[in-house]
């Protein structure tokens, strides 16, 4: 299958050793996958893992989806990201985002008041730091004074997890694009792509990357796999993540399972084409089948081009 949308996979780190994560990335690379993405939750540090994996697995692009901003000062994150960029020969995409109120307030104890303001100030410090420029930024929520020096490292591509209009405009104005989750093709076409593209154009920036996070399973047992995914995604859109609920409502579906790509090769390929036609530039697939089903999914995703 040839497509303007590039293929990638989100490697789930929960329950895996470092060696196990690296082996998953190696498997993706052997299958011809373009990018291996790692989440950042309460477990393996994504950027540290990518630094190690990038030294062991050549060529495949690497990304975070996504590093929460609140717990990491821009000076610290810039130094870490540039170190990974240097260690991997310039293969890093740094995906960041504000996470969700339930996590930031409930786990970290930080205020989640006005997250768009927070991210705007964060990017004003982070973006120049990634270019290894000195900053002297003093905002309402953030102070960043200084610079990082990582010899030989180039600025990584910077993406912002953005779903709502204000965050999408910010992503278009200040970053290279966005990473979405639980967002269907109609919402990508009618909301995400036009909003971020207009903002990027007005800011004089290139056409943005739009990385669509998708649950994918090539299988002969779609009903059973959808039931499995329903158990995994039981709280999506019903808990402390109203941004996901808003995307599902825009798409006109009830649950996150309704935007999953499940079925045989022809079915999943048809759904992937819908995302490409909607304007997604890349897919980031979360695989949730058996080993055999995941191998079929990888083969199909690698064929995107």
Does pTM surpass 0.95? yes
Residue 98 pLDDT > 80: yes
Which residues neighbour 300 within 8 Å (Cβ) at sequence distance 6 or greater? Answer: 1, 218, 265, 268, 269, 272
Mean model confidence pLDDT for the chain: 96
Q: So what's the pLDDT on residue 2?
A: 53
Long-range pairs for 258-261 at CB < 8 Å and ≥24 separation? Answer: 258/184, 259/182, 259/183, 259/184, 259/214, 259/215, 260/214, 260/215, 260/216, 260/217, 260/226, 260/229, 261/214, 261/215, 261/216, 261/217, 261/285
Q: Mind listing the domains of the chain with CATH numbers? A: 6-302 (3.20.20.30)
Position 132 scores a pLDDT of 98
**190-239 pLDDT, tens digit each:** 999 999 999 999 999 999 999 999 999 999 999 999 999 999 998 787 66
> What pLDDT is stored for residue 241 in this prediction?
83
């Amino acid at each position: 299958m040839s497509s303007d949308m590039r293929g990638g996979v989100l490697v789930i780190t929960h329950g895996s050793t470092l060696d196990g994560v690296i082996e998953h990335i190696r498997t993706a690379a052997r299958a011809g996958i373009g990018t291996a993405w790692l989440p950042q939750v309460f477990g393996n540090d994504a950027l540290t893992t990518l630094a190690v994996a990038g030294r062991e697995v050549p060529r495949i692009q690497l990304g975070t989806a996504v590093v929460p901003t609140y717990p990491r000062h821009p000076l610290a994150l810039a130094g870490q990201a540039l170190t990974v960029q240097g260690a991997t020969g310039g293969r890093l995409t740094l995906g960041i985002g504000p996470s969700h109120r339930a996590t930031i307030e409930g786990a970290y104890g930080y205020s989640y008041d006005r997250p768009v303001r927070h991210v705007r100030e964060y990017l004003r410090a982070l973006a120049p730091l990634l270019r290894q420029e000195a900053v002297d930024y003093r905002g309402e929520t953030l102070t960043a004074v200084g610079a990082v020096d990582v010899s030989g490292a180039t600025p990584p591509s910077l993406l912002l997890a953005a779903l709502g209009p204000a965050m999408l405009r910010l992503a278009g104005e200040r970053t290279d694009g966005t990473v979405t989750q639980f967002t269907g093709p109609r919402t990508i076409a009618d909301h995400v792509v036009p909003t971020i593209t207009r903002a990027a154009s007005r800011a004089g920036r290139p056409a943005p990357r739009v990385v669509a996070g998708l649950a994918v399973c090539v299988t002969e047992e779609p009903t059973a796999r959808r039931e499995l995914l329903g158990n995994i995604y039981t709280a999506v859109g019903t808990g402390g993540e109203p941004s996901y609920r808003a995307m599902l409502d825009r798409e006109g579906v009830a649950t996150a399972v309704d935007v999953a790509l499940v079925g045989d090769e022809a079915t999943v390929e048809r759904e992937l084409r819908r995302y490409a036609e909607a304007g997604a530039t890349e897919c980031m697939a979360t695989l949730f089948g058996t080993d055999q089903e995941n191998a079929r999914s990888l083969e199909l995703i690698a064929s995107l081009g």
